[in-house]
Structure formats: C-alpha cells, structure tokens
Structure 1
Amino acid sequence: MAEYEDITYRVADRIATITLNRPQARNGYTVRMSDELGHAMDRADNDEDVRVVVLAAAGPDFSVGADLSQGGFDFDAETGPDDAWQEPAGRCSKRVFAMNKPVIAAIQGAAVGGGITITLSADYRLAADDARFGFVFVRRGIYPEGASAWFLPRLVGMGRAMDWMISGRVFDAREALEAGLVHRLYPATELLDRAYELAAELIRTTAPVSVAVTRQLLYRMSGLDSPLPVHQLDSKLIGSLPANPDAVEGVLSFLQKRPPEFGLRVDKDLPGFLPWRQP
C-alpha cells in the first residue's frame, strides 16, 4: 500500500503528515480510509526518521463522519459480521492509542461522528476557531463508535460526555476548548503551521523513548483502581536510569545550557519489562 486513495502521506523534518484526502466528500470516512490510516500509522511508528505524526485533512472540513455511500461496511450485509470484525473508526483510534510517537490532530471545519472519534486517542487536538464538533450518533439512530465511550469521558468528564452523546448536538470550538476536548484554538489559516510548530518543539526538546513510555503509562495505567502497580512500574523505570544514556544526556544538556541530543531509539531501546510489551 505504497500509494493511497483516501489519504496522503509525507515525511519532512522528522514529521509524518497523514492527511484525510476526500475533500469532495467533506472527508467522509470510509473503510478504505480506515485501512489506509492504519497502514500509515504503522509506517510512521516503524520509521525511526519520524518523531511526530500530524493528522490533518484536505479542504474546509476535517471529516463529516461515515460515508456509507462508498460501499458500506466490509462484511456481507445479509449474513452480518463475524465475531472478529472491527468497526472502522475504532480501528484508527485503537492504532493511535498504541502509537509510540506523539500524534497531533489539526481539526478544521466540521468534525462529527467518526470524524471526531478517530482523533480522541491523539496526544493533541488543535482546532480552528470556527471548527464545529458533534457526537451525533443518537440523531441518526446509531451508536457511538471509535471506542469513544471510553476515550471521551477521560478527556472531558462523564457529565460533559453524557451531554454531548445523549443529545447528539453540534457545538462550537470555544465549548470544545473549555471542556478540554481540544487543547488550543487558532485561525483556520494558521492551524497547520501551529501544528508543525508544536511538532518541531517536541522533536527539539524531548527524548523519543521517554515520550513513548510516558504516553503509554498515561493511557494504560491511569485507569487502574490503585496507584500501587503504577508505582511498582515507576520504580523499575527509575531504577533503570543509571544505565540510560538519555537520562545522562538530559541532565548534562540542562547543566551545559545546550539543546539535548538523545540517542536511544524507539525501535530497539524501549524497556523490555513494560507490561504492555509482554507476550
């Protein structure tokens, strides 16, 4: 899948830009787009030249959600899906959840249904100040997808998630910012540039292995019912620091007042004892 039909992929300055590319259909989400997004995320995650992923969209809208006019789901409509079938938005959100690289979503225009749920596992959601959002499932007689019933309350709290999902109403960028759904607002003409500025800052100032471990710690450990297993893992990680050259470089660069030059690689230097890496 070197060439894509519903997305584009490019790498520059250690940033992989993955762009939803169906502007003629307002970037309506398709099974092909889902498969291509999964492939592109794999590609970025496995490329040591990539430090950060920017998820963007062509045209005035980020995505208006599922476009079933392009053939429906990838199962036989008469027999239905088997137990192994996975709905398409969740395929993307789960792959982003598992990333070792930070993902910055740059959202403009309409982001509704699957067009917002695929971004909920991103590390940052930057939005245009005129963007509009909606978890509109109940207004279409369908159900939330993209594992959004897990992600959304963790981002904005159960009360706000209940309001948005039970009403299905569309809301503006200011409400999204105040609730914590998005991190920052910018004029639409500046949005992508600001996403690249953030990506460049992360590349310049952070250690890739440390970032990979930290984002997974937050996702996989914050939901536990006790801090004790989290602290047990923290202790292993901190105990490994004497043999960690990035930790030495981090301290030295601070003391010497210079930019750090971290050398550990995500593809081969992640700690082997991380519980989510165990077979």
Structure 2
Amino acid sequence: MNPADPVLTRREGAVLTVTLNRPERLNALDAATLYALADAWHEAADPAVRAVVVTGAGRGFCAGADLRAPRDTSRPGSTGLRHTYHPHVLAMAALDKPVIAAVNGPAAGAGLSLAAAADLRIAAEGAKFVPAFTAIGLVPDAGGAYFLPRLLGYARAYEWLATGRPLTAAEALTWGLVSEVVPAGELLSHATKLAHQMADAPGIALGLTKRLLNHGLNVGLAELLDEEARLQALAVAAPGRDQARARMVNRMSTTREER
C-alpha cells in the first residue's frame, strides 16, 4: 500500500478500515479518490470482512466534491452523478455488514451524504456537519435526500438542507444524526472496537438485520413480515447459530441458579 494513495485500507481480523487520504484537501472527492474508493468497497464485500469503518485522514472527514479539481464537461450533471457518487452509495448499501462512519472533522456536501449512508455514525468532539449544496445552487446529491429525512424526519432535514448551516457534533448527537461523540484522540479506536464487537456476532444476523430494516423503510407491514420470515429462516440455518443459542441457554440457566 502506498501511503500517498487517495484511499487507504487496513484489515484487522474481520474489520476493514477505509481511510480517505487527501488531508491537504480535507479529503475532498476527486476522480482519483472515487476510483480508489470503488476498490475499497470491492475489498469490503469480501465475506471475511464482517464490519467496516470509514474515516478521513488529518483534520477532515470529507469536504465533498473537490471544487478545485478539473471538471469533466463531457457528461451532463445527471450522467456525471450516475458515474461518480451513485455507485459508491449503492455499494455501501449493498454491503451485508455494518458500516460505521468515524467522523473526525468536517463532513460537507457529498461527504455529509457519505457519512449518512453509513449504518452508524460516531463523531469526534470537533466534527462538523455541513449541507453545503444550496450554497452553491445545487440539490443534495450522493443520496443525501434519501438518507437524511430517514435519519432526521422530513421537516428537520429540509430546514437543515435549505439553510445549509453547520451542525456541531453535540447538535448532531441531539438530533440523532450520530450515536456518540467522543474525544478526537479516541475516535478511531472507539469506532474500531465497536466494529470488532459487531464482527464477532454469531451467524449472519447483523447483515440480515440491516437488510430487513432497509426493506421495512419502503414497504408495508405485511410485506415486511414476509421478508422477516424469509430472513429468519436464513439466520436460523447459518453456521454458528446453534452454538450461540446453546451459549444463551446455558447463560440463562446459570443466572437462574445464582438467584
């Protein structure tokens, strides 16, 4: 691995850490970064990887599109998005494992959408969340309009996207955009520890739970219950599930005896 690469990956057991690595540009997204990020999602899809942490190098998580990078004028806006950001959002959503965004600094524009596409977000105390789209006359991209209303509710998401005001880590915690705020020096170790805990879960339940929750956002109750039954059958048959159930039964029996 070249430390100058725009995206770095590191495997520790079943946890893959993906680091955006353009600290001098607050990890803004240019063509080379997006190309390298596609390789990272391919690596994350390996069944041996059971949890993924996404973070940024230096003092920023991701400043969104690199507005100083040369523009590709060969494609109209809609086609450009379909070839740049959309494959990454879809790749993250397709991962059958938890994705944790360790937001170490500013997450703006498409960088905010990237964080929102993760399953969980943990923020450093100095992190900021900036929906910078309307300030440059654009609608939210990279899936922001899909994820943010689901995380925050329509009215709060619209007000925030329309005004574009920066949100502190503490405010993001109050709003429910992030699940935890930790000191900057502890962020990556904390996120990685959580990823290892999730990776150690027995069977395939975490991936199936992600699939079930996302399915439930878009269907009615009856359809959700059908999918629940189908996925539960897969979970029951998964390797390691019987041993996990036996451990739980033994733990319950021990607890009763202690009483």
Question: 1:135-188 deviations in whole A, cap 9, x for unaligned?
Answer: 111111122101111110000111110111011111111111111111100011
Q: For residue 5 of structure 1, what is the amino acid of its counterpart?
A: D
Could you list the per-position Cα deviations for residues 194-245 of structure 1 after superposition, in whole angstroms to 9, with x for gaps in the alignment?
00110121122x1352211110111123221x20011112223345566444
Are residues 1:185 and 2:181 paired? yes
Q: Tell me if the contact between 1:91 and 1:146 (Cα under 8 Å) persists in the aligned partners.
A: no
- What is the aligned partner in structure 1 of residue 257 from structure 2? none
Aligned-pair identity (%): 30
* Matched residue, 1:53: 52
Corresponding residue for 1:26?
Answer: 26
Equivalent residues of 2:112, 2:144 under 8 A apart = no
Whole-angstrom distance in 2 between the partners of 1:219 and 1:251? 26
Distance across 1 between alignment mates of 2:64 and 2:105 = 12
Counterpart pick for 1:253 among 236, 240, 247:
247
Deviates more, 1:30-39 or 1:226-235: 30-39
Query: What does 1:1-279 correspond to in 2, within 5 Å?
Result: 5-46=5-46, 48-73=47-72, 76=74, 80=76, 86=82, 88-204=84-200, 206-224=201-219, 226-239=220-233, 243-257=237-251
State the AA in 2 paired with 1:181.
L
Relative to its length, the structure with more helix (as a share) is: 2
What is the TM-score of this pair, normalised by structure 1? 0.82
Per the normalisation by structure 2, the TM-score is: 0.88
3-state secondary structure, aligned to 1:150: helix
| 52 and 246 in structure 1: CA distance in 2 versus 1, 3 angstrom threshold | same
Deviation of the 1:85 alpha carbon: 5.8
The question of whether the paired residues in 1 share the 8 Å contact of 2:8 and 2:19 is answered with: yes
Letter in 1 for 2:43: R
Whether the 8 Å contact between 2:202 and 2:241 is mirrored in structure 1 is no
Q: Is the 8 A contact 1:112 1:134 kept in 2?
A: yes
CA–CA distance in structure 1, aligned partners of residues 212 and 78 of structure 2: 33
SS at match of 1:144: coil
Residues 102-159 of structure 1 show CA distances to partners (whole Å, capped at 9, x for unaligned) of: 1111002211111111121211110011111111111111221011111100001111
Unaligned 5+ segments in structure 1 are 259-279
Cα distance in 2 for partners of 1:244, 1:171 equals 42
Structure 2 CA distance for aligned equivalents of residues 61 and 242 of structure 1: 42
- CA–CA distance in structure 1, aligned partners of residues 103 and 74 of structure 2: 33
Which amino acid in structure 1 is aligned with residue 127 of structure 2? Answer: A
After TM superposition, give the deviation of residue 13 of structure 1 in Å: 2.4
Distance in 1 separating the partners of 2:79 and 2:24: 34
Is the Cα contact below 8 Å between 1:89 and 1:117 reproduced in 2?
no
Structure 2: where are the runs of 5+ without partners?
253-259
Contact 2:110/2:144 (CA < 8 Å) preserved in 1? Answer: no
The match for 1:266 is none
Q: Distance in 1 between matches of 2:39 and 2:198?
A: 24
1:10 is displaced (CA, Å) by: 1.4
Secondary structure at 1:28 match in 2: coil
Q: Distance in 2 between the 1:28 and 1:61 partners?
A: 9
Structure 2 residue matching 1:118: 3-state secondary structure:
helix
Change in CA separation of 1:14 and 1:60 when aligned onto 2, cut-off 3 Å: same
